[in-house]
A and B are shown apart, each in its own frame.
Chain A
Amino acid sequence: NAGVMQNPRHLVRRRGQEARLRCSPMKGHSHVYWYRQLPEEGLKFMVYLQKENIIDESGMPKERFSAEFPKEGPSILRIQQVVRGDSAAYFCASSQNWGRGEINEKLFFGSGTQLSVL
């Protein structure tokens, strides 16, 4: 039973390039969340998605950042025209939908993608 899978583990980009971070949730999980972590800080919520729907993107910067969770395939966090301030660890988490509108609040995290912008 594989956990949350993220790739790549490390991503180096030059300023102005695009970064694409991928996340496959745990089997049976239909809810995906992206968090960002700066050095020696806690995780900060960015966006919450279900299949083909963005539920809450209030933690995401308005410009250059976008996220999707298509019907097929992994969730993608996309950062356009990266700047040095985007350098951080980006974590994806997933949770299970028990049905009847009840969602298991326990989040399972992946190992993260460390983005470095040169």
Chain B
Amino acid sequence: GESVGLHLPTLSVQEGDNSIINCAYSNSASDYFIWYKQESGKGPQFIIDIRSNMDKRQGQRVTVLLNKTVKHLSLQIAATQPGDSAVYFCAEKRRGRGSTLGRLYFGRGTQLTVWP
């Protein structure tokens, strides 16, 4: 299953399928990106990050792809499990004068639902 970011904030997939969550960022000066997972009633949990000098980074069952040309970020989750059900946020850190580490700009989020 695949989401189209801000215009489709929900994604439903079958357990075992791969999931792709998309995110469009706005600032070409952004140099660092993070994906967070937020379960209901909990704080955001770090999943994976990537710097702007990379195109791809892999973790355990997750891969982040960065396309700077079109300012697009995606999170791929392999063999999606019911425990992956949550809201997924992409966040960007913008480089530039006055920018401060820790000032992340969050997208709206995508609700991933995994059906058994």
Chain A residues, CB < 8 A from B101: 31, 48, 95, 103, 105
**Shortest CB–CB separation between residue A110 and chain B, in angstroms?**
5
A106 located at the interface, meaning its Cβ lies under 8 Å from any Cβ of chain B in the complex: yes
Among A41, A45, A95, A107, the most chain B Cβ lie within 10 Å of the Cβ of A107
Contact size range, B = 20 to 34
* Inter-chain contacts of B4 with A (CB < 8 A): none
Which residues from B are CB-within-8-Å of A33?
A: 102-103
Instruction: Judge whether A56 and B103 touch: CB under 8 Å.
Output: yes
Known contacts A105-B93, A105-B101, A91 near B43 by CB under 8 Å? yes
Is A109 an interface position by the 8 A CB rule? Answer: yes
Residues B73-116 near A (CB distance < 8 A): 89, 91, 93, 100-109
Distance in Å: Cβ of A61 to nearest Cβ of chain B: 16
Of chain B, the residue at the smallest CB distance from A111 is: B43
Q: Which of A42, A93, A108 has the most CB of B within 10 A?
A: A42
Extra pairs beyond A6-B43, A109-B45 (11, CB < 8 Å):
A41-B109, A42-B108, A45-B102, A56-B103, A103-B101, A103-B102, A105-B49, A107-B102, A107-B104, A109-B36, A109-B43
